[in-house]
Structure 1
Amino acid sequence: MSTKHLFNETDELVLKSLEGVQASRSASILSQRFKVLYNGSHSSDRVAVLSGGGSGHEPAHAGFVGDNMLTGAICGPVFASPSAKQVEAGCKLVPSDKGHILVVTNYTGDMLHFGLAAEKLKSQGHKVGIIKSADDVAVDRKSGGLVGRRGLAGTVLLDKIVGGAAWDKLSFDECMAIGTEVAENTATASIGLDYCHVPGRSVENHVSLGQEECQFGLGIHNEPGVKTINPVPAPESMVETLLKYLVSQDDEQRSFVKFKEGDEVILLANNLGGISTIEMRAAVQLAREQLEKTHKIKSVRVLCGTFMSSLNAPGFSITLVNLSNGSHSKNVLKYLDAVSDAPAWVNVAPPASVKPFVNEDKIFDDETSSIMAPALDIPEAQVVAALTQASENIIKAEPQLTAWDTEMGDGDCGHTIEHGCRALLEYLNKNKSDPKALEIVPIVRAVVHITEEDMGGTLGAIFGIFFASFLNALLLDPLSHKDVPVTDKLVNAANTGLESLMKHTPARPGDRTVMDVLIPYVQSLVSTKDVKEAALKAKQAAEGTKQIKPRLGRAVYVGEKDGELPPDPGAWAVYELVDGLANHK
């Protein structure tokens, strides 16, 4: 876990963060004095819905101030409750004739300060209600004691649903009823790979989990989890564990919400701050799949992102809202789906029945173009022999190419081009009894496919562009359809391929890349139309790369080396290929 931060004074950090949120939504107003961000579009004929708590859980709650969501957010210091005075001020900043609803996470400080503010407001004639968010299932009934379950990411769903109901001008009692039902049917479980680090706090006193440890139930204020797991399980097992605690009815200490087969739920995957987006998307998909396959529970809405974080904690939580337990499910979905302009809210798209535009199995069927192929009278055996020799050259050279690339780059050059050559040999062998498939145009088309499917990487893209343009020239260039020697047609196609490639890469001779060989090779073909002479030029150019300092590709990042460098592996691979074409048996 990183202990480095941009800000090391949390007092400045909280206010600057609120100013940044306000700047992203011009209709929001910030009270710097009370650290309250509120919706300037609010009208007093709507119930005002406010939430808040300690900072450090962004985007909760300031990021969720907006139409169809929170009317206001009251922000305390990092991991500390706002004062009752702040909460009272927050309510008074957004007057309402219908009343104020406070969505409060179930932590002692939050409950006391929001509760005190509510009582003071009531004594002044205001109508105030509290919806307690207590969705955690990690802390069991016995351990929770009188305090009860913690408020976690499910709080944000309350912000959205109750806020949406209030924006729709439902009554105070209707908003309270919907919110209470959602709160009672929400469950959240989390896993943390490590604790977060609070800006400004001592690095020396920071506690971390071991490299092979994670904790189930790690809290959003760095509270230790209820169970340490070693080693860190596979993601499938992590999700399985979370779902077990969420939906299982066998554990009387944790079955806070009733679930059964056939239930419909809202599924929310929440990033605690330090998990990559790509991993979060994969995690929510695992959760959705396991819910449906293992538990026979359908996710009718799926949300994924950072909703309630714990600064930079590397962990995530899964929240389920069981819609099947209540009587307000239609309104719950209506207000969850209602579009909000709150800066941090990810608007949910309701289920839609859509079909693919095309059958993906047939998406490349049109590659076998109806354009008439030119007459290229080259004996089939000669073509197969040349391509076989070129491929065998590469397969034999692969260990050396890999060694050179490991020394100067990322070590994948030899394997990449070897895979391509083996795929080409497989194509030739599979089609040895089909003369049509062994004509030049079908073979070049196959090579283009191989560069994408079997090679990939930078080298695959380079060869792909070259041979795709080579193919285009054979099919479309008027010269290819004239009564001229086959050699002229092939040389013209090679030159077209090179010209096209040079439009897509800045590499030129002297940059220590495949272009150091490919350019002089094609130029020699154009001037001499002699493949053996061109192959000799290619060898000279490949040898010459030993003297060239890298200027492109990953080899640029390798430090200065003493003495002569190895040849550029990509450039040498091109030489091996063209030597095979020229000197086949």
Structure 2
Amino acid sequence: MALQKHLLNDADTLVVDSLTGLCAVNNQLAFDPPNKVVYKATLDRSKVALICGGGSGHEPSHAGFVGEGMLSAAVCGNVFASPNASQVRRGIDLVENDAGTLILVKNYTGDILNFGLAAEQYAAEHADKSNKVKFVVVGEDVAVGKTQGGIVGRRGLAGVVLVYKIAGALAAQGGSLEEVHDVAQYVASRIGTIGVGLEHCHVPGTAAPTHSILASEIEIGLGIHNEAGNQRISPIPPLSQLIPQLLDYITSTTDPERSFLPFKHDGKDEVVLLVNNLGGLSELELGGVVRAARDELAERKIVVSRVISGTIMTSLNMPGFSISLVLLPRAEDTQAPKASFLLSLLDAPAQTPGWKWSSGAPPVTPTPLAPPPHPPAKRAADATAVSASKPSEFVTAIQRACDAVVAAEAEITRMDTIAGDGDCGLTLKSGAQAVQKAVAAKNITGTDLVGDLLAVAKVAETDMGGTSGALYSIFFSALAQGVQGAAGGQLTTATPELWATALTSALKKLYTYTRARPPSRTLVDPLAAFVESYDKGFSEAVKAAAAAAEHTKDVDAKAGRSAYVDSALLTREKVADPGAWGVKTILEAI
């Protein structure tokens, strides 16, 4: 379900509160609260003014792009509702100038009617300036096919912001109204955008939505006002499969419903790529989308001249993203502006809080998706190899432990969302999967325990990371030292006595790097119980470790992730320490 909690004073005052806050951030701006118009406080009235607007809920669009080098004013309606003609008319009056005004709106009926009516009213009352107001409608949603769109056309999405930027830069450089209008119209005709959502958004002050995207689904082609998309996919595909499908929507020249842009697919197509956060996607995921889109375009031999990524046009708190491509003109397109000229306008500075930094250059060459495998751990060439008593069973036990950790990920993650920062399950799963790869690569065989333990330590260091990764890496590195030291160059097969000595040594060495001592509600609790009970036999040691892990439900946190969590919450929830549960899971599987 969409997140239905919001932080606000009152849903009825949210838009004005937000715009007032924006003006505090950007002191270039002035604000007309009754009409919800944000505009440049100081205007050069010898230059063309640009006005945009529409419903709120798409921040930073539209008002976040008002400022030097971009827009002159933005007229804002209530959430997902067009401003009325009187509001728009006030915006036109506020930026009235000698050079003329260009109105830029997304292709939605309410926006076109209200902004159009205001423009016509202005022209009727200022006959001498009737040719000084021009209008550009931007509709670039490729999810809406030609038949479905009919005479209405495509919806306007994040691509409109690229029109703001290019037209705004030209106006700032002194371009005439005709020049600014023509460039804006050209760019608008060369954009394709497709959106993807994990869930719909929730409008503050409204009832909970009656529809929802299932946890296993994504929706392609959804609008920015909670309009349903044209396709749902389950299970959720990896980006390497999803992005090609999305780019097909934009770049196809064979789909009669969606061949909107004149791609040639001859290796000379050149584009600007915009990856937009629809409001609720993490920057971490958005970076992955950028990479996947860049790599897929390179695979298709489509030249990416610029990449812009960030929160540009949202749908409130929608967890999703959109991809926009601007197909740049070719050298032989003599009736079009030069690609280099459009890129220079895109690169021109803009003093607005909403516009994202870009490099002003093409992206770097795509890099391989898969990292190289870990090389086998190295140790002294003259060291005596110590093998497990039954190497094949040793390897099988490790595989069982890895399988158990992967299977327990969801439960450990649940525990860690209560008792920590929510990453313990995924961290352990990453380590387990990396160990499985090391087994498959014959880096862990049971015939060289020191090498095997060093391989596990390396995995913990590089694939787990964080506190858990460091603790596991230290322990297994110390255990490798303990095995080598206990063997003393004499033993070639591990015995229970050797393991007992090595484990004791490893725990002692681990204690030099952590202050946690049992009972501390950390992974040290079951680990110490296991090591200290090892002389009673492996099974008894595992039981002791399991009991210690269970006991963390009743222990006050003295170290680790839980030390920062309200102890009353932990007492009430009766949740074990996730790291301790991971140790229990591993030992019981072995």
Same fold at TM > 0.5: yes
Q: 1:335 and 2:330 equivalent?
A: no
Give the SS at the match of 2:54.
strand
Change (3 A) 1:42 1:445: farther
Give the SS at the match of 1:286.
helix
Corresponding position of 2:509: 497
Corresponding position of 1:93: 94
Change (3 A) 1:299 1:31: same
1:333 positional shift = 1.0
Corresponding position of 1:49: 50
1:71 positional shift = 1.8
Give the SS at the match of 1:198.
coil
Change (3 A) 1:533 1:105: closer
1:35 positional shift = 0.8
CA distance in 2, matches of 1:418, 1:218: 35
Q: What does 1:16-95 align with in structure 2 at a 5 Å threshold?
A: 16-40=17-41, 42-95=43-96
1:75 positional shift = 0.4
Change (3 A) 1:183 1:24: same
CA distance in 1, matches of 2:520, 2:286: 40
CA distance in 2, matches of 1:572, 1:210: 31
Corresponding position of 1:157: 162
CA distance in 2, matches of 1:183, 1:407: 46
- Which one has the largest radius of gyration? 1
Change (3 A) 1:515 1:390: farther
Contact preservation (8 Å) 1:394, 1:418: no
* AA of the residue aligned to 1:22: C
1:289 positional shift = 3.3
Q: Which among 167, 189, 192 is matched to residue 184 of structure 1?
A: 189
Give the SS at the match of 1:91.
helix
Contact preservation (8 Å) 1:517, 1:574: no
Q: 1:461 and 2:453 equivalent?
A: no
1:74 positional shift = 0.8
* AA of the residue aligned to 1:263: D
CA RMSD of aligned residues (A): 5.2
CA distance in 1, matches of 2:338, 2:410: 65
Change (3 A) 1:112 1:458: same
User: 1:451-497 CA deviation, whole Å, 9 max, x = no partner?
Assistant: 33577676542131346689999xxxxxxxxxxxxxxxx99986883
1:157 positional shift = 0.7
* AA of the residue aligned to 1:498: L
Change (3 A) 1:452 1:167: same
1:574 positional shift = 8.5
CA distance in 1, matches of 2:216, 2:550: 46
Contact preservation (8 Å) 2:163, 2:184: yes
Contact preservation (8 Å) 2:83, 2:111: yes
User: 1:493-526 CA deviation, whole Å, 9 max, x = no partner?
Assistant: 86883354216xxx222125443476799999xx
Corresponding position of 2:458: 449
User: 1:125-164 CA deviation, whole Å, 9 max, x = no partner?
Assistant: 5422222212233334444444333222211111111112
Change (3 A) 1:418 1:510: farther
CA distance in 2, matches of 1:422, 1:76: 55
Moved more, 280-289 or 170-179: 280-289
Q: Which among 175, 183, 199 is matched to residue 180 of structure 2?
A: 175
1:36 positional shift = 1.2
* AA of the residue aligned to 1:549: T
Give the SS at the match of 2:105.
strand
* AA of the residue aligned to 1:345: W
CA distance in 1, matches of 2:261, 2:410: 58
Corresponding position of 1:287: 293
Corresponding position of 2:520: 511
Matched residues, number: 532
Change (3 A) 1:87 1:402: closer
Give the SS at the match of 1:324.
coil
Identity between Structure 1 and Structure 2 (%): 36
Q: 1:570 and 2:570 equivalent?
A: no
1:73 positional shift = 1.0
Structure 2: which 5+ runs fail to align? 331-335, 416-424, 483-501, 563-569
User: 1:256-295 CA deviation, whole Å, 9 max, x = no partner?
Assistant: 331112210112233333444444433444333333434x
Change (3 A) 1:224 1:8: farther
Corresponding position of 2:2: 2
1:175 positional shift = 1.9
1:58 positional shift = 1.9
Corresponding position of 2:249: 245
Corresponding position of 2:496: none
Contact preservation (8 Å) 2:307, 2:362: no
Give the TM-score normalised by the residue count of structure 2: 0.71
Give the TM-score normalised by the residue count of structure 1: 0.72
1:68 positional shift = 2.1
1:51 positional shift = 0.7
Change (3 A) 1:195 1:463: closer
Corresponding position of 2:261: 257
CA distance in 2, matches of 1:536, 1:522: 12
Corresponding position of 1:549: 552
Q: 1:271 and 2:277 equivalent?
A: yes
* AA of the residue aligned to 2:260: F
CA distance in 2, matches of 1:142, 1:419: 50
Corresponding position of 2:315: 310
1:16 positional shift = 1.4
Change (3 A) 1:334 1:387: farther
Contact preservation (8 Å) 2:50, 2:73: yes
* AA of the residue aligned to 2:225: H
* AA of the residue aligned to 2:514: M
Contact preservation (8 Å) 1:395, 1:418: no
Corresponding position of 2:122: 121
Give the SS at the match of 1:250.
coil
1:79 positional shift = 2.1
Contact preservation (8 Å) 1:52, 1:73: yes
Change (3 A) 1:458 1:13: same
User: 1:182-209 CA deviation, whole Å, 9 max, x = no partner?
Assistant: 11212223345554433333337x4445
Corresponding position of 2:223: 219
Structure 1: which 5+ runs fail to align? 433-437, 474-489, 525-530, 578-585
User: 1:296-350 CA deviation, whole Å, 9 max, x = no partner?
Assistant: 3222222233322233445443322111253232221112122333222211112
Change (3 A) 1:307 1:355: closer
CA distance in 1, matches of 2:371, 2:66: 45
Moved more, 47-56 or 303-312: 303-312
1:9 positional shift = 5.3
Contact preservation (8 Å) 1:423, 1:454: no
